[in-house]
């Protein structure tokens, strides 16, 4: 098969979940198929055995045109199957419907993201409706997203579930060795960690408020890009010796360094499906405190309520429970179950095989 992946910023992954997905999937699909990834101007790179084409502009400058040009280039390349990441390409999918077979991965519920204006959220919602009507094949990254399409958009046929994967790191014995940030010495197990884009729907403010309410003595390290938006300026006022912000870390070995050495991950994402940063936390054998929603519950697959929070009071109680030494045995049991779930369900080889089966249908 000749397979193209469009709608991401390109590979190698330098931005987010879709880019990681494209890189991991393409590098495995290419073993027995020809694979193309179309990316943007500013994200040029190569992956062994994978063809790449970079457009002469970036996705952010004109997303609709970006999808259209990406699909056009894929068809020109000879793609038989095109995986479209996001719903922004639905108009182009309709336009080129007879040129290739399309498989749309809608991602999470983008129209719920509070960072967008009401008008933009309404437009995105319409794109989801059009996708449910005109998308021949829809690949959801979680059962909860598939259920949403059936319950809300009344789409029942040709919807599939293929999640994302994660790689279990090989550097399990690495230690931070007294890394110093904001005058705080970070040793193994001495700090909480949140890795996320600093956007309202990722509940960073809620995480900070719950953390403060808990009165824990362990610092909170928040890793995420800081731009000049109002929301990030609002978060910045919380920065102090105990609440440490650092910009996005795209060096995977350094990110693993933090993930392997934290006491606990706090995961606040609330509008996605299977979130890559949650899978990464699970793969690093971490105990995770997670925002309570169907997407995160579906990913974690372990209904132990003390791991989930809906507000700052619940998070503060969860932190206190984690720090109670009497719960150490239960925490170890949960961590091992999360790691086993990565091995048996969220493994990239398993996910690739799911995609292959869907594409061959």
Rounded distance between C-alpha atoms, residue 83 and residue 162, angstroms = 12
3-class secondary structure, 5: strand
Beta-strand pair 159-161/81-85 = unpaired
What is the structure's pLDDT at 62? 95
Are the C-beta atoms of residues 222 and 181 closer than 8 Å to each other?
A: no
* Overall pTM surpassing 0.85 (yes/no): yes
For 222-278, give the DSSP string.
EE----S-HHHHHHHTT-SSSEEEE-----HHHHHHHHHH-SEEEE---S-SS-HHH
CA dihedral 125, 64, 101, 94 (to 10 degrees): 70
What is the structure's pLDDT at 200? 87
Rounded distance between C-alpha atoms, residue 309 and residue 242, angstroms = 21
Which residue ranges of the chain lie beneath pLDDT 70?
171-185, 227-231
Given the structure tokens 């193994």, which residue do they identify? 188
Rounded distance between C-alpha atoms, residue 10 and residue 58, angstroms = 10
20, 110, 166, 188 from 8: Cα distances, Å: 9, 15, 18, 35
What is the structure's pLDDT at 148? 93
Kindly list the strands in the beta sheet with 264-267, ordered across the sheet, starting from the edge strand earlier in the chain.
Answer: 243-246, 220-223, 192-195, 264-267, 288-291, 308-309
What is the structure's pLDDT at 262? 93
What is the structure's pLDDT at 187? 78
3-class secondary structure, 95: helix
Residue from 335, 318, 248, 332 nearest 283 by CA: 335
pLDDT tens string 287-298: 999 999 999 999
Provide CB contacts within 8 A for 330, sequence distance 6+. none
């Amino acid at each position: 098969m000749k397979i193209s992946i469009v709608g991401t910023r390109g590979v190698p992954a330098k931005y987010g979940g879709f880019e990681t997905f494209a890189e991991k999937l393409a590098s495995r699909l290419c073993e027995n198929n020809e694979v193309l990834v179309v990316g943007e101007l500013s994200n040029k790179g190569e992956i062994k055995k994978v063809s790449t084409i970079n457009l002469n502009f970036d996705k952010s400058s004109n997303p609709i045109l970006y999808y259209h040009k990406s699909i056009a280039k894929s068809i020109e390349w000879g793609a038989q199957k095109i995986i479209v990441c996001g719903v922004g390409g639905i108009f182009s999918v309709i336009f080129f419907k007879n040129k290739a077979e399309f498989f749309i991965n809608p991602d999470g519920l983008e129209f719920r993201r509070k960072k967008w204006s009401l008008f933009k959220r309404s437009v995105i919602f319409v794109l989801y409706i059009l996708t449910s009507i005109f998308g021949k094949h829809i690949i959801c990254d979680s059962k909860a997203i598939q259920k949403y399409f059936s319950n809300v958009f009344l789409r029942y046929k040709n919807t599939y579930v293929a999640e994302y994967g994660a790689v279990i790191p090989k550097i399990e014995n690495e230690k931070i060795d007294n890394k110093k940030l904001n005058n705080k010495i970070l040793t193994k197990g001495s700090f909480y960690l949140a890795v996320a884009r600093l956007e309202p729907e990722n509940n960073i403010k809620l995480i900070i408020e719950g953390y403060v309410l808990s009165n824990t003595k362990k610092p909170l390290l928040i890793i995420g890009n800081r731009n000049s938006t109002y929301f990030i300026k609002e978060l910045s006022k919380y920065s102090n010796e105990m609440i440490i912000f650092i910009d996005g870390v795209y060096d995977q070995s350094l990110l693993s360094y933090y993930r392997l050495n934290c006491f606990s991950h706090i995961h606040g994402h609330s509008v996605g499906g299977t979130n890559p940063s949650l899978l990464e936390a699970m793969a690093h054998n971490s105990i995770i405190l997670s925002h309570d929603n169907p997407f995160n519950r579906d990913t974690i697959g372990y209904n132990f309520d003390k791991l989930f929070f809906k507000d700052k009071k619940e998070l503060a109680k969860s932190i206190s429970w984690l720090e109670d030494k009497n719960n150490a045995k239960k925490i170890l049991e949960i961590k091992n179950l999360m790691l086993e779930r990565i091995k048996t369900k969220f493994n990239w080889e398993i996910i690739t095989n799911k995609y292959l089966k869907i594409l061959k249908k």
